[in-house]
């Protein structure tokens, strides 16, 4: 079969990519617009970025979001990796079906339900809502993504390497640390990155579970956006896009071509 790209195939890919990138590109360009009006191009300017330097509320929200994202992504990575490891081992344990059900369900659960149910839990056990409740909520929300990514890596890696180590007398825990962990490290890193960006992004679950003094960046942006488009928000969004883009490209450079491609395709099969 020829692999020559037909006109139709090329066109559908080009149009698809244009559709995905045009709105973001426009947003980024307009964050450098000197004019306050959206349609009026007033020349290139950094005025909205300068404005941000004085916006203490946005900075505070960004700092909270960043801390929440780092903490919850780290917790989610540990929990998700453990869950993935348990799910790929054949060993039986009580409630395996329930566990695998719980491990994947948050992936498609509407966020309003996850948010509401977590909030009602916090109220029921009388916990004051704030920073830590958002961290817990985001850990719960994002760990399933880590589970899926790490699990797809664990499935394709060569189990005989582990078995060889154990046959040579290496205890299981040490085998996991010295053989398994280095092999699945790229997937763990990718999982952490995804959890991090999902946490940084989440509005709905954070709105339900946050409390006084713990306004995250999306909550802040959302309250501004409801009042209409603001050039400052374009600038905030551009910075967030830049952070995520740099992070993603860097992590993909680390997890190099061949293995990374197979794994991404595998992730594609799951998400």
Partner 1 sequence: MNGEPEKRWNVRAIVLLPYLWLAVFFLTPFVIVLKISLSQTALAQPPYLPVLDLAAGWAGLIEFAKELSVDSYRLLSSDLLYLLSYLKSLQVAAISTIILLAIGYPFAYGIARAPRGLQPLLVMAVVLPFWTSFLIRVYAWINILQRDGLLNDVFLRLQIINAPATWLSSDTAIYIGMVYSYLPFMVLPLYATLEKMDESLLEAAADLGCPRWKTFWLVTLPLSVRGAVAGALLCFIPIVGEFVIPDLLGGSETLMIGQTLWTEFFSNRDWPVASAIAIMLLALLLVPILVYERLQRRSLEEGR
Span interacting with partner 1, options 3-11, 43-51, 66-74, 179-187, rule CB under 8 A: 3-11
Among 36, 50, 174, 261, binds partner 1 (CB under 8 A): 261
Helices (H), 89-180: 96-104, 111-124, 131-156, 159-167, 172-175
Find the binder of partner 1 among 21, 36, 50, 177 (CB under 8 A): 21
**Residue of 188, 196, 181, 189 lying closest to 250 (CA atoms):** 189
In this chain, which of 59, 70, 85, 132 binds partner 1, going by CB under 8 A? Answer: 85
Instruction: List, in order, residues 6 or more apart from 53 with CB less than 8 Å away.
Output: none
**Residue 63 contacts partner 1 per CB under 8 A:** no
Per CB under 8 A, contacts with partner 1 among 192-231 are: 193-194, 197, 200-201, 203-204, 207-208, 218, 221-222, 225-226, 228-229
| Min dist. Cβ of residue 252 to partner 1 (A) | 6
Q: List Cβ neighbours of 16 (8 Å cut-off, separation of 6 or more).
A: none
Looking at 35, 45, 59, 117, which residue binds partner 1 (CB under 8 A)?
A: 117
116 interacts with partner 1 by CB under 8 A: yes
Q: Which stretch binds partner 1 (CB under 8 A): 43-51, 55-63, 177-185, 240-248?
A: 240-248
| 151 is a site residue for partner 1 (CB under 8 A) | yes
**Per residue, what are the HEC states of 156-218?**
HCCHHHHHHHHHCCCCHHHHHHHHHHHHHHHHHHHHHHHHHHHHHHCCHHHHHHCCCCCCCHH
Q: Rule CB under 8 A: is residue 72 a binding residue for partner 1?
A: no
Spatial contact of 218 and 34, defined as CB atoms under 8 Å apart = no
For tokens 């760990």, what's the residue? 143
* First and final C-alpha spacing in the chain: 30
Task: Name which of 47 and 82 has its Cβ closer to partner 1.
Answer: 82
> Counting contacts by CB under 8 A, is residue 80 touching partner 1?
yes
> Per CB under 8 A, does 5 bind partner 1?
yes
Minimum distance of partner 1 from residue 189's CB (angstroms): 13
Cα dihedral 137, 193, 271, 263 sign: negative
To partner 1, the closest distance from the beta carbon of 121 in angstroms equals: 4
Of 263, 15, 22, 30, which is closest to residue 149 (Cα–Cα)?
A: 263
**Please, what is the minimum distance in Å from the beta carbon of residue 16 to partner 1?**
4
Q: Give the separation between CA 153 and CA 181, rounded to whole angstroms.
A: 11
Q: Is 246 in the site for partner 1 (CB under 8 A)?
A: no
């Amino acid at each position: 079969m020829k692999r020559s790209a037909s006109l139709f195939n090329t066109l559908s890919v080009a149009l698809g990519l244009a559709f995905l990138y045009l709105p973001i590109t426009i947003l980024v360009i307009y964050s450098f617009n000197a004019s306050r009006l959206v349609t009026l191009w007033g020349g290139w300017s950094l005025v909205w970025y300068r404005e941000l330097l004085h916006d203490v509320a946005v900075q505070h929200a960004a700092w909270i979001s960043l801390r929440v994202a780092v903490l919850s992504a780290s917790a989610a990575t540990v929990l998700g990796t453990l869950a993935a490891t348990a799910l790929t081992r054949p060993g039986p344990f009580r409630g395996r079906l329930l566990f695998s059900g719980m491990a994947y369900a948050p992936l498609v659960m509407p966020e309003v339900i996850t948010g509401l149910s977590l909030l009602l839990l916090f109220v029921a056990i009388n916990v004051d809502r704030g920073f830590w409740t958002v961290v817990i909520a985001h850990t719960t929300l994002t760990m399933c993504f880590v589970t899926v990514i790490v699990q797809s890596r664990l499935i394709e890696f060569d189990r005989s390497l582990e078995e060889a180590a154990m046959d040579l007398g290496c205890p299981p825990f040490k085998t996991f640390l010295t053989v398994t962990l280095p092999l699945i490290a790229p997937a763990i890193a990718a999982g952490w990155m995804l959890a991090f960006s999902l946490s940084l992004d989440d509005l709905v679950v954070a709105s339900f579970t946050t409390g006084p003094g713990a306004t995250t960046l999306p909550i802040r942006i959302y309250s501004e956006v409801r009042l209409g488009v603001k050039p400052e928000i374009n600038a905030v969004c551009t910075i967030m896009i830049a952070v995520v883009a740099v992070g993603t490209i860097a992590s993909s450079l680390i997890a190099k071509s061949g293995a990374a491609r197979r794994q991404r395709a595998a992730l594609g099969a799951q998400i």
